[in-house]
Amino acid sequence: MHSTLVKRLAATALAVLMTITTGCASSDAPSSAGGVVRLKFWGDWSGEGEQQFKTMTAAFNKTHPKIQVDYVVQEDMLTKFLTASTSGQAPDVMFWDRWRTASYAPKGVLTPIDDLLKKDGIERERFYGEALRELTHGGKLYGLPLTVDARALFYNKAHLKEAGIEPPRTWAELEQAAVKLTRREGGKLVRAGLSMDDTGLFSMYLRQAGGQMVSDDCARTTFNGPQGLQVLDLWSRLIKAGVYQSGFEKGLGEGTDAFATGKVSMILTGPWNITTYKKYGKDLDFGIVPPPTGPQGGSASLMGGFGLVIPQAAKHKDAAWEFVKWWTAEKDNALLWARTSLNIPGNVQAAQDPFFSGDPFWKPILDTLQHAKIRPACAGYAPMEEEALIPNLQLLMEGKSTAQQALAKAQEQGDRVLTENNQ
């Protein structure tokens, strides 16, 4: 579904990328008898996701007899895409995790769509601006948003009621609530007041404190400062108070969701878990509020999501564009997708439909999206976070490093990783 840790692009994949030319011409000559253009649509969602995609391709195919779209599930999709791009077998449309754009767009493997938007009079205001920004590189737009998501605070209503507290709105309230909600038996943690398993959320806390992760030019990290210390001081106090311990959730057993089973009272997670948690019915009565604000009142959340892109080596770009704009730019189709997949659409008008805005679970996510920001659009950001930042934050969580040491080492290693990947 949605990974909280972004994975570094493999060196072999990047090597293939460097060999791909950008001069592939678009051709919409019919690929089968009867003048019908057949589009290859690649994605890596299978199971329920595959059926959701096929709902959309069937709806499109029914209204576009001259363009027929076939959805093909691809495992290890990116590697296959790179190989296919050099061998003339590239798909026409791809399901795209948007954060990848900063790494792939510079290599010339994606088709800019600015002129297509202008030609068809599609206003950028139809879409969430941050989602468009994540699909942009070097001033060019490389796709349209399909979904948007943002982290919010999910809380166990029964636990909070028992403790006599309201859902926290600030860091101070979050800290007090987490301590009060924690349960230990014989010194052993049996219920964590707040999940602290995902150290990748540091960037969200940092923005709540008024800081930023990297410089605007992507040349260096900027988290080792007063705001970064405020975040880690909060985390350190929570750990010292016994609210959490490293490995707690993993120790519950594979496939066990700590929040769903009542072992965690609060968790910062995304809308992809709403359906899962609803399935627990009477066993889990939960609510959602936007993430607590930082020490100076800063609101922030992390936006993620997917889009649709057209490969530079696609054979049927014009027909592919028809499919992409039909799905994302037209409100009714974007809403059909949203209701089918239970994802907030990247189309703002569709997202504001009562299906979402009138729902007590989805409405707090919509509210959170108003101040949610994407990860920095730097080619080196993902490997910097995974290789330099998160391992050092993990040492802090395990009591093997101080806040100052963790930030200093993460800065030193992170600056090097940024430099290596931004060249």
pLDDT over 70 at 12, yes or no: no
Distance CA 169, CA 290 (A): 8
Kindly report, residue by residue over 178-226, the tens digit of the pLDDT.
999 999 999 899 999 999 999 999 999 999 999 999 999 999 999 999 9
- For 249-269, write each residue's pLDDT tens digit: 887 777 778 999 999 999 999
**Cα–Cα dist 258/267, whole Å:** 9
Would you say the CATH fold of 150-302+377-422 matches that of 11-146+305-346? Answer: yes
Q: CA-to-CA distance for 393 and 381, rounded, in angstroms?
A: 16
CA distance 314 to 156: 48
pLDDT of residue 88: 86
pLDDT digit string, tens, across residues 256-307? 789 999 999 999 999 999 998 998 767 899 999 999 999 999 999 999 999 9
pLDDT at site 31: 52
User: If you average pLDDT over residues 332-355, what whole number do you get?
Assistant: 97
Of 373, 387, 401, 384, residue with least CA distance to 235? 401
First to last CA, the chain: 31
Residue 33 reports pLDDT greater than 90 = no
Cβ count within 10 A of residue 276: 14
Domain 11-146+305-346, CATH class in plain words: alpha beta
**CATH fourth-level superfamily of 150-302+377-422:** Periplasmic binding protein-like II (3.40.190.10)
231, 396 in Cβ contact below 8 A? Answer: no
**Whole-structure pTM value:** 0.89
Please provide residue 309's backbone torsions phi and psi, each rounded to the nearest 5 degrees: -130, 160
Percentage of the chain lying above the pLDDT 70 cut: 91
pLDDT classification of 26: cutoffs 50, 70, 90:
very low
Torsion of CA 181, 152, 389, 226, to 10 degrees: -80
Once rounded to an integer, what is the mean pLDDT over residues 59-70? 98
Domain segments of the chain as ranges: 11-146+305-346, 150-302+377-422
- As given in the structure block, the two tokens for residue 310 are 């057209």
Q: How many residues does the chain have?
A: 423
Q: Describe the crossing of helices 331-341 and 317-328 by its angle, rounded to 10 degrees.
A: 70
Q: How many helices (H) and strands (E) does the chain have?
A: 19, 16
Per residue in 303-321, pLDDT (tens digit) is 999 999 999 999 999 999 9
- CA-nearest of 89, 60, 72, 140 to 324 is 60
Give the mean pLDDT of 25-40: 67
The set of residues, in sequence order, having a beta carbon less than 8 Å from that of 1 and lying 6+ positions away, is 272
